[in-house]
Amino acid sequence: MALKQQQVQKQQQGLTQMQIQQIKLLEIPALEMEERILREIDSNPALELGEDIPSDNNLNEEDDFDLAENYPENEENDKASENTLSDYEDDYDDRAADYAETQAKDPNADNERGQFFLGVQTDSLQDFLRQQLSDLDLEETENWIGEYIIGCLDDDGYLRIQLETIADQLSFHRSLDVDEEQMEEVLTMIQGFEPAGIAARNLKECLLLQLQRKNPTKEVQQAIHLLENYFEDFSAMKIQKICQDWGISESEMNAVKKTISKLNPKPGNDWESSLMNETGRAITPDFLVDNSDGKLSVSLNDTNLPDLHVSRYYKDLIRSGKQSKNISRDQKDAIAFAKQKVESATWFINAIRQRQNTLLSTMQAILYRQEAFFLSGEEKKLRPMRLKDVAADTGMDISTISRVSNSKYVQSEFGIFPLKFFFSESMQTTDGEEVSVREIKSIMQELIEAEDKSHALTDDALVKLLQEKGYRIARRTVAKYREQLHIPTARQRSNQ
């Protein structure tokens, strides 16, 4: 088949530079917002600190000084106006610092929960993956697919959402018609990113992705064969059955098991842990929740953010140019520069306001769903809540809610909590009621704290106690939750 070139006209949806900047502003936590504003002021002389003083000479918001209309011969200024963003865009690092809660607690805190020490993370896992995605220089559609997949990864680094569901979301929110083959191709690319095993859809795929990157030694090849053909039996630890069916010796099987044991079953969780070793400065909460006689209210913690307004001098300069008929070329250039900077300053002020509205709407939706927790401070009162639940409540895109919750904190009378703390999956009780996983973890912790240390509760005993309380849960799930709570096994607790 002969190669040929042809022109095709089609519509594509893309983000403008201003929309991208707006997204970046949304991701910045309160601690860095003041610095971001000061950077913008340094780069744009039309943006000034303080409240605007009303004046009859001020340029009205509705005034539109059209330079091309007034000075059609000034083509160079028209081109300068088109490049507005490149003039005021600075070298600010758009990957806003993501703050993570360390395991350490202040023993001198009055609150029985303890005051959290908060470590500073330079990048979240999602930021790290997005950077790798941008390095691929993909087409727009593939890039959107990649962004959505990365945004759907859970804390362990797994993709628990079906590709078909992501395709539906892209079709609804981005008007993108993507097929399963495209989704699989982009997912395969992301699965090639660091850390190894990321974006796997299940444990088997996660382990295989890591093995496929290793040198193909005999043990590695046998480990791949074991997972591909005997994963169910291996999960149930039916070692003798595998050895008989496969025809390998017990010593070979032990070597294969040792190879698999060195793999990381939770690549996302490991990434977060590696960033939480060092403590840093205390965070500034983005939201404040106040409880006044049982009535909750939320406000933005923006007291440190300076007031901004557009320079009256630059407004008057544009107005004078609009009223003058005969002006020099230098004056035209000055007016073009002033208009460009005023437009940039006006956009930045509006973007700040929109950021505040988005943050407040999101936090109000979270407060509504988690009202019981904010009134009591009891973790057992947390309701199951997912990103898409808040997105439905606010009418916003799920990716917007993800950005808001990724690096923001809220202060209540019970302490400071990351917004991620309020998101959890649900589990059904024997009565069919949905409860938060955090509630079950909290009850488990209470049972273990009240146990007789000489006869510590085994995982099986915990299962029975939880089932008596109406929670349908498997033993391996109890073991998983216990590990996540950093609680030793019953034997280790008895020896303490």
- At 442, which CATH number? 1.10.10.60
Residues 471 and 401 grouped into a single domain? no
Structure tokens at 445: 């912790």
- Residue 2 inside a domain? The answer is no
Same structural domain, 270 and 173: yes
Do residues 338 and 447 share a domain? no
Last-in-domain residue among 254, 274, 294: 274
Q: Once rounded to an integer, what is the mean pLDDT over residues 478-486? A: 84
Reported as a single tens digit per residue, the pLDDT across 97-134 is 232 222 223 333 333 333 332 333 335 788 888 888 98
In a shared domain, residues 179 and 199: yes
- The residues facing 119 across adjacent strands are 100
**From CA 146, how far away is CA 421, in angstroms rounded?**
25
- Whether 147 maps to a domain, the answer reads yes
Residue 6 inside a domain? The answer is no
Mean pLDDT of the chain: 77
The tokens describing 454, both together, are 């000489």
Count up the domains in the chain and report the number: 3
My answer on whether 417 and 451 are in the same domain is no
Q: What is the DSSP string of 44-58?
A: -TTEEESPPPP-TTS
Rounded percentage of the chain residues whose pLDDT exceeds 70:
78
140 within some domain:
yes
- Of the listed ranges 100-109, 126-135, 423-432, 434-443, the one predicted with least confidence: 100-109
Same-domain check for residues 39 and 84: yes
More confident residue, 72 or 248: 248
Q: Is the same domain home to 180 and 302?
A: no
pLDDT at 32 over 70: yes
The secondary element (H helix, E strand) that includes residue 168 is helix 163-174
Question: Do 286 and 410 fall within a single domain?
Answer: yes
In a domain, 375, yes or no: yes
- Locate 87 and state its tokens: 């003039």
Pairing of strands 409-412, 287-292: parallel
Which stretches of 236-328 are DSSP H helices?
Answer: 239-246, 250-261, 267-274, 312-323
Stated pTM of the model: 0.48
- Would the pLDDT of 250 be above 70? yes
Instruction: Using alpha carbons only, give the angle 460, 465, 468 rounded to the nearest 5 degrees.
Output: 125
Residue 20 domain-assigned (yes or no): yes
Residue 40, both tokens: 């913008």
Residue 335: per-residue pLDDT: 85
Instruction: Choose one of 424, 439, 469: the last residue of a domain.
Output: 424
| Domain limits for position 30 | 16-121+281-424
Same domain, 268 and 286: no
Q: Dump pLDDT digits (tens) for 353-389.
A: 898 999 999 999 999 999 988 998 887 788 888 888 8
The last residue of one of the domains, among 409, 424, 439, is 424
**Same-domain status, 311 and 340:** yes
- 115 and 129 in a common domain: no
Residue 204, domain member (yes or no): yes
How would you label 93-123 residue by residue, b for 16+ Cβ within 10 Å and e otherwise?
eebbbbbbbbeeeeeeeeeeeeebbbbbbeb
Asked if residue 7 is part of any domain, the answer here is: no
The string of pLDDT tens digits covering residues 207-224 is 999 999 888 889 999 999
Largest CA distance in the chain: 97
The predicted-structure confidence for 285-335, as pLDDT tens digits, reads as follows 889 999 888 899 999 887 777 888 888 888 888 887 777 777 788 888 888
Q: What is the pLDDT of residue 209?
A: 94
Task: Let me know whether 195 and 308 are in one domain.
Answer: no
Burial class (CB in 10 A: 0-12, 13-18, 19+), 454: exposed
